[in-house]
């Protein structure tokens, strides 16, 4: 069993679904209703096969005393925290997964506050 010390952000890093983001207020410097679009380069889908996912599989002890189980079913990957619903994990980069249904991101083998963590879980909108 891999032990992890997770930075508990956003209500102890639970998979509780966050409410949709509130609409942004218009910029004080610009007229109301002004929309600015920023065009980006389309992101290539990150591929991770079942064998590569074996590195992440296992049970992690969270800093709030709960346990998170990371598993796969075929080519789909999942995380489940004690007492909460299972969330599908989508690989988006090396050691980075998002849980779209829970609006969470998991960063495996992440250095945070000068300390190596097995995984850091936080809301997607706080990543930047």
Q: Closest Cα to residue 126, out of 13, 4, 5?
A: 13
pTM over 0.75: no
DSSP 65: S
- In this predicted structure, what is the pLDDT of residue 71? 94
Residue 23 lies in a domain: no
Whole-number Å distance between alpha carbons of 10 and 16: 9
- Give the domain range for residue 6: 1-10+47-128
The number of folded domains in the chain is 1
Residue 95 lies in a domain: yes
Whole-number Å distance between alpha carbons of 107 and 114: 15
Residue 2 lies in a domain: yes
Residue 108 lies in a domain: yes
- Which run of H or E residues covers position 119? strand 115-123
Give pLDDT tens digits for 3-30: 333 333 333 333 333 333 333 444 445 5
Residue 70 lies in a domain: yes
Residue 5 lies in a domain: yes
Residue 68 lies in a domain: yes
Residue 115 lies in a domain: yes
Phi, psi (degrees; rounded to nearest 5) at 11: 60, 55
Confidence of residue 47 (pLDDT cuts 50, 70, 90): confident
Q: From the centroid of its chain, how far is CA 7? A: 13
Residues ≥6 apart with Cβ < 8 Å to 83: 66
Can you tell me whether residue 61 is helix, strand or coil? strand
């Amino acid at each position: 069993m891999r032990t992890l010390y997770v930075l508990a952000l956003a209500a102890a890093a639970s998979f509780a679904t966050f409410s949709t983001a509130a609409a942004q207020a218009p910029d004080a410097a610009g007229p109301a209703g002004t929309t600015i679009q920023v065009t980006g380069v389309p992101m290539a889908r990150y591929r991770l096969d079942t064998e590569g996912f074996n590195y992440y599989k296992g049970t992690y002890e969270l800093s709030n005393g709960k346990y998170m189980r990371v598993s796969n079913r075929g080519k789909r990957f999942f995380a489940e925290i004690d007492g909460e619903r299972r969330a599908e994990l989508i690989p988006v980069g090396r050691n980075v997964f998002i849980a779209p249904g829970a609006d969470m991101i998991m960063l495996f083998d992440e250095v945070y506050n000068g300390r190596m963590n097995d995984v850091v879980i936080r809301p997607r909108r706080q990543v930047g």
